[in-house]
Amino acid sequence: MNTLVHKTTVLISFFLFVFYLPAASTLLPSAWQPVSALAAESGKASWKQTWEELASAARKEGQLSVYSTASGGDVRKTTAAFTEKYGIKVDVLSARGPELVQKMDAQRRAGLYTVDIVIAGGNNLAFEMKPKGLLDKFDQILILPEVTDPKAWVSGNGPYIDKDHYSIGMLAAFARQFIRNTNLVKEGEISSYRDLLQSRWKGKIIASDPTIAGAGNSFVSCLASIWGVEETKQFLRQFIKQDLAFTRDLRQEVEWVARGKYELAVGTHGETVGEFMRAGAPIYPVVAAEGGVVTSMSYGLGIVTKRPNPNAAALFANWILSREGHAVVVKNARLPGARVDSPREGIPAIFFPQPGEKFFTATEEDFRRQKEMVKVAAEIVGPVLKK
């Protein structure tokens, strides 16, 4: 029998993330244009002078608000380094992407603007927040030459996720789409996405819910990028016959494989997998013969429109994309960075493409496909979830 594993916290999330408006919420200042934009427009100041002016203005604001879908603990460690350097207090709110969008929408309807920076998946940024007018372009925000130089980034084209420069990818990690319990599944026993359809795995797979934006949908979208939409639909129709367990709790998904309750997990959260691996859990990602995608995972960067602390936000964006700030991000996420000078120490080799392995880098088109595949998954998997 198909099993649906869900946290039933809908009512609590509704009030916490949509209607709850912090007492410290700030109305939009009447003059909010950052120093960086003013300097860029005047064309008179060198980047060094502009940087000094920006840092001074940011310190006067003295605070910053960050919303994040990435691991809250990792993001707080990163923002703590920023606070230590510049003396600017940073508040971090962690939640799922849709919850953050709902909260921001609710606040704006009330005329409140409380968030400056968003750290989230590329799909959340490019196809949920950007169309709603929640994000600004980075063009006049980025100042440091080591950030604006396209050659500083592994893509060679700069760090942007979308062609309009509303979102930036801070990581370049191979998003392994499924993991195995190393005590129960031998290396090489499964080596293809199609192998998931074998009778051997019936009742032994837990999968992240693909009908919402997130890791489960990323798995389905990856298949669509490799095989095309129609072939992926055929796969899903067979896959749901495997007596799957579905969950929206990405940590629980990995934990249950580590404990041996399930032998495989599909649509896993890369940061969580890495955390369990470092703790010595008996799990390991599967290298699929069909290849996969290199992506920013939950570490896309967006700068919010009508932000309450525009100078602190611009300072943070430049710092976190600089060699110094980016090294802090990579150290805390323990996943490959998108800068060419990213540190590699402490990052499992499995999160880099292996020699000769097939992979593609996620583009705006791939993130657009994710939105399409939510509907596909809802059509095919949705009825199973309701049982």
Q: Is the pLDDT of residue 44 over 60?
A: no
Q: What pLDDT, on a 0 to 100 scale, did the predictor assign at position 34?
A: 53
pLDDT band, very low/low/confident/very high, at 145 (cuts 50, 70, 90): very high
Smallest CA-to-CA distance from 123 within 155, 157, 162 is with 162
Higher-scoring residue by pLDDT: 16, 146? 146
d(CA 40, CA 53): 12
pLDDT digits (tens, 9 = 90+) for 281-310: 999 999 999 999 898 988 999 999 999 999
Spatial distance between the Cα atoms of 22 and 6, rounded to a whole number of angstroms: 28
pLDDT at 41: 47
pLDDT of residue 126: 84
User: At 329, is the pLDDT very low, low, confident or very high (cuts 50, 70, 90)?
Assistant: very high
Whole-Å CA distances, 170 to 274, 291, 317, 326, 333: 17, 22, 11, 8, 11
Q: What is the pLDDT of residue 19?
A: 32
For the ranges 121-125, 162-166, 343-347, which has the lowest average pLDDT?
121-125
Interval 190-232: pLDDT, tens: 999 999 999 999 999 999 999 987 889 989 999 999 999 999 9
String of DSSP letters for 226-282: HH-HHHHHHHHHHHGGG--EEES-HHHHHHHHHTTS-SEEES--HHHHHHHHHTT-S
d(CA 302, CA 146): 19
Domains in the chain with CATH codes: 24-171+297-333 (3.40.190.10), 173-296+349-385 (3.40.190.10)
pLDDT tier at 23 (50, 70, 90 boundaries)?
A: very low
CB contact at 8 A, 362 and 294: yes
Q: What is the pLDDT of residue 17?
A: 34
